[in-house]
Amino acid sequence: MIGHGFMGAAHSQGWRVAPRFFDLPLEPEMAVLVGRNAAGAEASARKWGWDESATDWREVIARDDIDVVDVVTPGDTHAEIAIAALEAGKHVLCEKPLANTVEEAERMAAAAAAAAERGIRSMVGFTYRRVPATTFARDLVAEGRLGEIRQVRAEYLQDWLMDAEAPLTWRMQKDRAGSGALGDIGAHAVDLTEYITGQRVTTVSGIIETLVEERPLLGEGSGLSGTATSERGKVTVDDIALFTGRLESGALASFEATRFRTGRKNALRIEISGSKGALAFDLERLNELEFYDATLPATGLGFQRILVTESDHPYMGPWWPTGHMLGYEHGFSHQVYDFVTAIDEGTQPRPSFEDGLHVQRVLEAVERSSASGSAWIATGD
């Protein structure tokens, strides 16, 4: 695993726990954790259960005993690391968004396609696809329970940047993160909409805006949790993104991504309305799905709360008895299960790098639309 911040902890949890609950066809060995700072990498490796740590990712991917490379670094390094790993014959799991630019994502998708011809697999870490309730929602749509999809509303709401004096970190710098709320969390809203509906976004019209344009700089080498200094730096990414999209069927979807929605901590919400029914999901209640069956008599209409904890629900069988809840971290174990199974079967895991490229095109189209005064822009697929 290359990188060891917040996502490093989440991915480590997935790699460590999945083999103990799921019958994996191959046994993952948590061999090496790579970080730029030797002491930090060593401490993280020891804490999360990796056999050793290193500081040079190029040396690690050249090793014969490494089969899989898991990339959890900031977006500005995804392309270089993932392409090098694929060319070295390693299977690659890469965190979302796939890259910082469409050009980078195109190169990554091309490298993944070439590697696939040699049996090398790659996948993007849009983990919310693997929350049992969202997977079940996908199944309901695929079964036709909602009928013709007519309208979608998707939003990802957080408030962790509400404090205008919160320090400037890499997530607020375009050269490191690619974009702000749009790419960081808006990418999830786009991918989850497409995953559940089975349809891609084809055109968008939107606006992005930076609400706090300068923030205090962190002290040298102090990391994300360091102390802010008296110096200030420019925020070069968006704080909020609002856009409308049209799906392949012609259905309209509205999207919002913000890190300034007061009181919302991690509210990834999606509501899908169709000719026969509707469903709604909120990540802050991730074990629940609301379902509306419009085919019932008027006296029986209303949203039904489904507790997605039955052993027959997606991914639930290996876990706990009915009614015992799962949490945020379980999606990463499901991700490992799907990725390792695909490697063993020689099939393409999803979402693929091509899927990640498509999402990157949607994000870029939103940025271009905003720059042009909210004109409708095609995603370019």
Same domain, yes or no, for 318 and 363? yes
- pLDDT tens digits for the chain (381 residues)? 999 999 999 999 999 999 999 999 999 999 999 999 999 999 999 999 999 999 999 999 999 999 999 999 999 999 999 999 999 999 999 999 999 999 999 999 999 999 999 999 999 999 999 999 999 999 999 999 999 999 999 999 999 999 999 999 999 999 999 999 999 999 999 999 999 999 999 999 999 999 999 999 987 654 445 577 789 999 999 999 999 999 999 999 999 999 999 999 999 999 999 999 999 999 999 999 999 999 999 999 999 999 999 999 999 999 999 999 999 999 999 999 999 999 999 999 999 999 999 999 999 999 999 999 999 999 987
CATH number of the domain encompassing residue 188: 3.30.360.10
Q: What is the pLDDT of residue 224?
A: 47
CATH number of the domain encompassing residue 88: 3.40.50.720
Q: What is the pLDDT of residue 380?
A: 85
Same domain, yes or no, for 48 and 172? no
Residue 332: inside a domain, yes or no? no
Global pTM reads 0.95
Residues 162-173 as b or e (16 or more Cβ within 10 Å = b): eeeeebbbebbb
The strand pair at 377-378 and 201-209 is best described as: antiparallel
Same domain, yes or no, for 246 and 151? yes
Residue 21: inside a domain, yes or no? yes
Task: Report the side by side order of strands in the sheet with 201-209.
Answer: 304-307, 288-293, 277-282, 267-274, 149-157, 252-258, 240-247, 201-209, 377-378
Same domain, yes or no, for 210 and 287? yes
The number of folded domains in the chain is: 2
Same domain, yes or no, for 119 and 136? no
Same domain, yes or no, for 44 and 61? yes
**Last residue in a domain, options 128, 159, 191:** 128
- List Cβ neighbours of 117 (8 Å cut-off, separation of 6 or more): none
Q: What is the pLDDT of residue 381?
A: 72
Residue 339: inside a domain, yes or no? no
Same domain, yes or no, for 185 and 37? no
The strand pair at 228-234 and 240-247 is best described as: unpaired
Residue 105: inside a domain, yes or no? yes
The whole-angstrom separation of Cα 70 and Cα 156 is 25
Q: On the CB side of 211, how many CA atoms lie within 13 Å of its CA? A: 16
Same domain, yes or no, for 214 and 307? yes
Domain of 187 in residue numbering reads as 129-326+347-351+357-371
Same domain, yes or no, for 105 and 152? no
**Last residue in a domain, options 128, 154, 188:** 128
Same domain, yes or no, for 196 and 95? no
Same domain, yes or no, for 135 and 271? yes
- List Cβ neighbours of 188 (8 Å cut-off, separation of 6 or more): 96, 126, 128, 156, 268
Chain centroid to CA 279: 21
Same domain, yes or no, for 263 and 192? yes
The whole-angstrom separation of Cα 84 and Cα 133 is 35
The whole-angstrom separation of Cα 8 and Cα 36 is 13
**Last residue in a domain, options 111, 128, 145:** 128
Q: What is the pLDDT of residue 335?
A: 98
Find out whether 218 and 228 touch, Cβ atoms under 8 Å. yes
Find out whether 369 and 204 touch, Cβ atoms under 8 Å. yes
